[in-house]
């Protein structure tokens, strides 16, 4: 653990400073627009533009990294984000603000991809869990510190924008000075969206609903607090407490996820979230102390939904498809995070800020319904399920490369899911007893003669057949 922290300390520092600026910018834009009486629908549209940019950046980031490398991609994107942040202090045109938010989201995703591919390439296989844990901690810590800046700097003028621009400038320094710069090129994970829609439609729908909740919270919770007549310092405190609750909750909920049925746990958390959000949805005004307490509980519950559903999805999908699954889950989350702020923002104008937490309660009930299967056969776990619960980001603070950092994914499986230069021929033959056997011949110029590995698959076997198969495998192994 100490070795991983010391080796990757520059990248962790870069991540924390970058998320500090990003988290502060999201809250700043919402508060600034709310203070100028901009409609909730347009605030939601600007927040949605950020998540749309994140989804688009997942595709563009691969091309940039392959063409110019990791450091140049990160530096160029950080420079563009810095310029876009300063543009907010120059122009007041709302449509320009939306375009700038989309550009910032796109560049941020490229930066996430640079950092995560760097971690993936430089981390040893037995270090991935620790490396990924510190990365998530740095992300949460940076986002929470961004909210604390609002307590120290409550003014929503140009000074706050300068602090944000300063963060995106300083995050260049650690990554530019690091000596671990020999990072290999990356290959995009294959997309099998049609397969997953047919296999786990309820899981994908749950991810979309969770994205709607989380995206609405980050973008419109500051608008809710402003309508509760809270000051900028109080808003920063509320957001910081809610985000820190998500960080604190990861360890105990991961312990529960690894020991109890995840589907049942999902229903319980979703139901508790609906109950916790009701006071903020019903009461027109609430004391600040009670608001902090309820906000902490809501943050604890809502930020554990995404990693829980991700772990459940991996339980239901074969290992060779999990890299593709992670990319599809992130895309589904981005779609939900784009839709949620649009819906809630449009409803805030006529119904008030309480509609935000009423929306959370409604989405939680939808999750309860989605987690209930009509037939037991619909929930089919693969052989290696349940998998260890790995804390995942609650927003799109992760690129499609995040599954490569998951220690529950086999290293060879990850490599096999990427385009490979080797040629592997599969030959199928029928056995004498009607069961199928597969002969996999691997051609290698350095190996003579070729090695043939025989694998047999049986759906139902009794103890006697298992003993016969064991004898057959021993004979086959002796011949090899």
Dihedral angle, C-alpha 21, 26, 28, 30, nearest 10 °: 180
Looking at the chain, the number of H-run helices and the number of E-run strands are 18, 3
Helix axes 232-257, 305-316, angle to 10 degrees: 30
Residue 185 lies in a domain: no
76 and 111 belong to one structural domain: yes
pLDDT at 116: 77
Domain CATH number, residue 348:
1.20.1250.20
User: For residue 297, what pLDDT band results from cuts at 50, 70 and 90?
Assistant: very high
Do residues 212 and 343 lie in contact, with contact meaning Cβ atoms separated by under 8 Å? yes
For strands 451-456 and 436-442, give the pairing.
antiparallel
218 and 120 belong to one structural domain: yes
**CA distance linking residue 149 with residue 236, whole number of Å:** 7
Inform me whether the pLDDT recorded for 104 exceeds 90: yes
Highest mean pLDDT pick, 23-27, 138-142, 152-156, 188-192: 23-27
143 and 256 belong to one structural domain: yes
* Domain with 468 in it: 424-479
271 and 325 belong to one structural domain: yes
Do residues 424 and 442 lie in contact, with contact meaning Cβ atoms separated by under 8 Å? yes
Residue 102 lies in a domain: yes
269 and 394 belong to one structural domain: yes
Closest CA to 343 of 33, 41, 34: 41
Model pLDDT for residues 388-437, shown as the tens digit of each residue:
555 555 555 566 555 555 555 555 555 555 554 444 444 444 444 444 44
Say which range, 20-24, 249-253, 356-360, 459-463, has the weakest mean pLDDT. Answer: 459-463
CA distances from 58 to 73, 113, 205, 410 (A): 13, 8, 21, 23
Do residues 428 and 438 lie in contact, with contact meaning Cβ atoms separated by under 8 Å? yes
Mean of pLDDT over the chain: 76
Q: Which helix (H) or strand (E) holds 416?
A: helix 411-417
Structure tokens at 317: 């999908």
Last residue of a domain, one of 392, 417, 442: 417
pLDDT at 62: 78
Residue 53 lies in a domain: yes
389 and 458 belong to one structural domain: no
pLDDT at 255: 76
The percent of residues above 70 in pLDDT, for the chain, comes to 70
Last residue of a domain, one of 398, 417, 436: 417
235 and 93 belong to one structural domain: yes
402 and 437 belong to one structural domain: no
The percent of residues above 90 in pLDDT, for the chain, comes to 20
Query: The sheet that has 436-442: what strands, in order across it?
Result: 424-430, 436-442, 451-456
403 and 471 belong to one structural domain: no
**CA distance linking residue 375 with residue 446, whole number of Å:** 52
Residue 392 lies in a domain: yes
383 and 342 belong to one structural domain: yes
Residue 192 lies in a domain: no
Do residues 238 and 46 lie in contact, with contact meaning Cβ atoms separated by under 8 Å? no
pLDDT at 102: 93
Which neighbouring-strand residues pair with 442? 424, 451
Residue 364 lies in a domain: yes
**DSSP helix/strand/coil, 469:** helix
Residue 321 lies in a domain: yes
Last residue of a domain, one of 397, 417, 437: 417
304 and 352 belong to one structural domain: yes
End-to-end Cα distance, the chain: 41
Do residues 131 and 8 lie in contact, with contact meaning Cβ atoms separated by under 8 Å? yes
**CA distance linking residue 46 with residue 40, whole number of Å:** 10
Model pLDDT for residues 157-207, shown as the tens digit of each residue:
888 999 999 999 999 888 877 766 556 655 555 667 788 888 888 888 999
Residue 190 lies in a domain: no
99 and 212 belong to one structural domain: yes
Inform me whether the pLDDT recorded for 3 exceeds 70: no
Model pLDDT for residues 58-99, shown as the tens digit of each residue:
778 878 888 888 888 889 999 999 999 999 989 888 899 999
pLDDT at 77: 92
The overall pTM is greater than 0.85: no
Which neighbouring-strand residues pair with 276? none
Q: How many domains does the chain have?
A: 2
């Amino acid at each position: 653990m100490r070795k991983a922290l010391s080796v990757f300390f520059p990248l962790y520092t870069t991540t924390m400073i970058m998320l500090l600026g990003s988290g502060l910018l999201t809250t700043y834009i919402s508060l600034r627009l709310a203070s100028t009486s901009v409609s909730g629908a347009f605030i939601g549209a600007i927040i949605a533009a950020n998540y749309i940019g994140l989804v688009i950046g997942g595709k563009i980031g691969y091309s940039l990294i392959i063409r110019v490398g990791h450091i140049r991609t990160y530096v160029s994107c950080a420079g563009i984000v810095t310029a876009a942040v300063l543009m907010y202090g120059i122009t007041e045109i709302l449509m320009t603000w939306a375009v700038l938010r989309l550009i910032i989201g796109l560049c941020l995703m490229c930066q996430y991809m640079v950092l995560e591919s760097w971690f993936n390439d430089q981390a040893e296989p037995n270090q991935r869990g620790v490396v990924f844990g510190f990365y998530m901690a740095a992300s949460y810590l940076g986002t929470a510190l961004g909210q604390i800046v609002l307590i120290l700097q409550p003014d929503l003028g140009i000074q706050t924008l300068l602090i944000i621009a300063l963060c995106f400038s300083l995050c260049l320094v650690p990554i530019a000075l690091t000596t671990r710069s020999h990072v290999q090129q990356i290959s995009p994970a294959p997309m099998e969206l049609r397969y997953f829609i047919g296999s786990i439609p309820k899981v994908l729908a749950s991810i979309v609903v969770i994205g709607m909740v989380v995206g609405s919270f980050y973008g419109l919770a500051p608008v809710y607090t402003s309508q509760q007549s809270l000051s900028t310092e109080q808003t920063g405190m509320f957001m910081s407490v809610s985000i820190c609750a998500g960080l604190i909750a990861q360890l105990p909920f991961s312990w529960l996820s690894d020991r109890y049925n995840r589907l049942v746990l999902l229903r319980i958390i979703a139901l508790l979230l609906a109950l916790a959000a009701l006071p903020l949805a019903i009461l027109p005004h609430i004391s600040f102390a009670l608001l902090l307490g309820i906000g902490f509980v809501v943050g604890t519950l809502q930020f554990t939904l995404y990693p829980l559903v991700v772990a459940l999805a991996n339980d239901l999908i074969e290992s060779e498809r999990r890299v593709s699954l992670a990319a599809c889950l992130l895309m589904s989350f981005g779609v939900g995070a784009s839709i949620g702020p649009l819906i809630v923002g449009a409803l805030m104008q006529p119904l008030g800020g309480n509609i935000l937490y009423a929306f959370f309660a409604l989405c939680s009930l939808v999750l309860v319904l989605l987690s209930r299967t009509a037939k037991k056969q619909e929930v089919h776990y693969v052989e290696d399920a349940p998998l260890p619960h790995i804390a995942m980001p609650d927003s799109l603070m992760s690129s499609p490369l995040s599954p490569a950092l998951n220690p529950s994914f086999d290293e060879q499986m990850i490599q096999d899911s990427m385009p490979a230069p080797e040629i592997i021929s599969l030959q199928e033959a029928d056995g004498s007893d009607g069961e199928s056997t597969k002969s996999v011949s691997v051609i290698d110029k350095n190996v003579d003669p070729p090695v043939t590995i025989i694998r047999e698959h049986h759906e139902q076997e009794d103890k006697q057949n298992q003993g016969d198969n064991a004898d057959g495998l021993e004979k086959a192994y002796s011949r090899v």
